[in-house]
Amino acid sequence: MNDLQQRLGVEKTSHGSRVLRWVCRTVPTVMALVFVTGLGLLGQQTGWALPKFSALLGRQQAEKDDWCVEHNVPDSQCVACRKECLPCGPGSGWCSIHGVHDCPLCYPELAQLPHSAVVSRDDLERAARGLALAPRVQNNSRCKLHQQRIQLTSVESVARLGIEVVPVGRGAVTESVVANGEIVYDPTRVAHLAARAAGTVWRVEKQQGDRVRRGEVLAIVDCAAVGRAKAEYLQTLTQRKLKAQIMARLKELAGDGVAMQSLRDAEADWDEARVRLLNAEQALLNLGLPIATSDLADLPTEEAARRLQFLGLPDDLARSLDPRTTSSNLLAVTSPLDGEVVERWVVAEERADPSKVLFVVADTRKMWLLLNVRPEDADLLKPDQPVRFRHDGHASWDEGTVSWVSLSADEKSRTVPVRVAFSNPDGHHHAHTFGQAEVVLREEPRAIVVPNEAIHWEGDCNVVFVRDKRFDEPGVPKVFHVRSVRPGVKNGPNTEILAGVLPGELVATKGSGTLRSQLLKNNLGAG
């Protein structure tokens, strides 16, 4: 009996284990089939689009889920996805005159200003001058960046992101070519002086650094050639006077046949004496000793000799010399211009000849600045353009004008020589020193300018971020417009804008890189 009960208990236990194992194998399969069937029915009803968690978790989560991930603003207010939130104007397209999109110079109504904008004729002329002067960086006419707008969630988010805006203003800008150069004497105002004939330096009158006037004596040279030229002149002068007397006497006897022949011989002798006198005059003139024969013709020979003795010397110097002990061979070395003795290479009793420079006299009131300009910049230079320059040791700037632009480049430096003439009345500029110059190409006292950090180059277009004119109004999307611009010259912290914005528009400066990052992100998303 007991054995039977034991066997029945074992059979019941085996049967229960088999049922349990079957249930464990079957239930997961059934549940999987039910899940797949339910998922298929749900997909058919929803078009295979999963519902947002907000639809499952209620209204609060729905508000949180109303977010445009691509543009980082509420989806219901995204102006990029929902154009009706802030409709775009028609725009003006590409401006071939100024090289920008939606040009406010040609269409002032496109400016983001709270009032009607007016473009003056001066602004149009200023833009034309700037574009015509030199090649400018060009925008791509097919660029689409100007069609984009960068949206923020609120006014407070501007401050949190560190974005600052400033109004487009006006300021003075100067466009120039900068070059280094050397200050030198004006070669047309520099004299390298030597004795006109060989001799010995008798006396030196001027020292280096002395100011001299034209005709003032610098040194006196004892030249034997001067004495011979004076003696030759005095001799021919006396002979001409004698021949003239003989000819006059024979004219009184012109009736006699013999006297007529003698008269003709006397006239020939007088002509010969006159020619010799002209040659003697020329010899003195070549030595820098001009003389008027008419002043000496009627003087006694002794008086004529006295006047010839100190010929070429100033009267006050001649009066200080003793004619009995002073040679008549003296030849003065004089200054041909007003200036300063910048070099002296002579002492008394030193040998002098025409090949040796004794003095260098320069008129330092006029100087030259020789610039070395890059060939691409030299094409912009013209005579009479104003130049501002500064000596390395001076704090102030001086002014001059371009007087010459070379037609060839230097063989070694491959730069173009440019000459600038300037006044140096007080002599504070020194020759053979260096200075930095700015050749002024264009000056605009009321140019349109923005801070340098407001401008961004995006590969094929220069852009700035202009704040929407209704930015501060409640309920209006907080938008920055991407505006293509044409930069001009950069002066310090500001850059001239030839076209693209108008005075009064607000542009992003500090922190504008955040807006640029969003612009790049939008471009990547679009691509």
Give 88-115 pLDDT, tens digit per residue: 666 788 999 999 999 999 999 999 999 9
* Phi-psi domain of 162 (left: phi exceeds 0; alpha: psi -120 through 50; beta: other): left
**What's phi and psi for 448, nearest 5 deg?**
-85, 125
Can you tell me the distance from the alpha carbon of 326 to that of 308, in angstroms, rounded to the nearest whole number?
A: 13
> How much is the pLDDT for 58?
37
Mean pLDDT (the chain) is 85
| pLDDT per residue as tens digits for the range 326-337 | 999 999 999 999
16 secondary structure, DSSP code: H
Per-position DSSP letters for 229-296, written without gaps between them: HHHHHHHHHHHHHHHHHHHHHHHHTTTSHHHHHHHHHHHHHHHHHHHHHHHHHHHHHHTT----HHHH
**What's phi and psi for 445, nearest 5 deg?**
-70, -20
Which CATH architecture does the domain made up of 75-171+443-526 adopt?
A: Beta Barrel (2.40)
> How much is the pLDDT for 244?
85
- Partners of residue 405 on adjacent β-strands: 418
pLDDT bracket for residue 70 (50, 70, 90): low
Can you tell me the distance from the alpha carbon of 484 to that of 135, in angstroms, rounded to the nearest whole number?
A: 18
Lowest mean pLDDT among 29-38, 83-92, 448-457: 83-92
Per-position DSSP letters for 116-139, written without gaps between them: -----HHHHHHHHHHHHHS--PPP
Taking a C-beta distance cutoff of 8 angstroms, is the pair 417, 368 a contact? no
> How much is the pLDDT for 262?
79
Average pLDDT over every residue of 427-446: 91
| pLDDT per residue as tens digits for the range 252-307 | 776 555 567 777 888 888 889 889 999 999 999 999 999 988 888 888 888 999 99
Average pLDDT over every residue of 236-258: 78
Can you tell me the distance from the alpha carbon of 451 to that of 511, in angstroms, rounded to the nearest whole number?
A: 12
What lies within 8 Å, CB to CB, of 244 at 6+ separation is: 270
Can you tell me the distance from the alpha carbon of 443 to that of 440, in angstroms, rounded to the nearest whole number?
A: 7
Taking a C-beta distance cutoff of 8 angstroms, is the pair 75, 62 a contact? no
CA distances from residue 474 to 13, 114, 155, 477, 478 in whole angstroms, order as listed: 79, 15, 9, 8, 9
Q: How many helices (H) and strands (E) does the chain have?
A: 12, 24
Taking a C-beta distance cutoff of 8 angstroms, is the pair 300, 177 a contact? no
pLDDT at 460 over 80: yes
| pLDDT per residue as tens digits for the range 121-130 | 999 999 999 9
Nearest to 502 by CA among 201, 200, 119: 119
pLDDT at 232 over 60: yes
Taking a C-beta distance cutoff of 8 angstroms, is the pair 247, 259 a contact? no
Residue ranges of domains in the chain: 2-50, 75-171+443-526, 224-328
Q: Which amino acid is at 121?
A: R
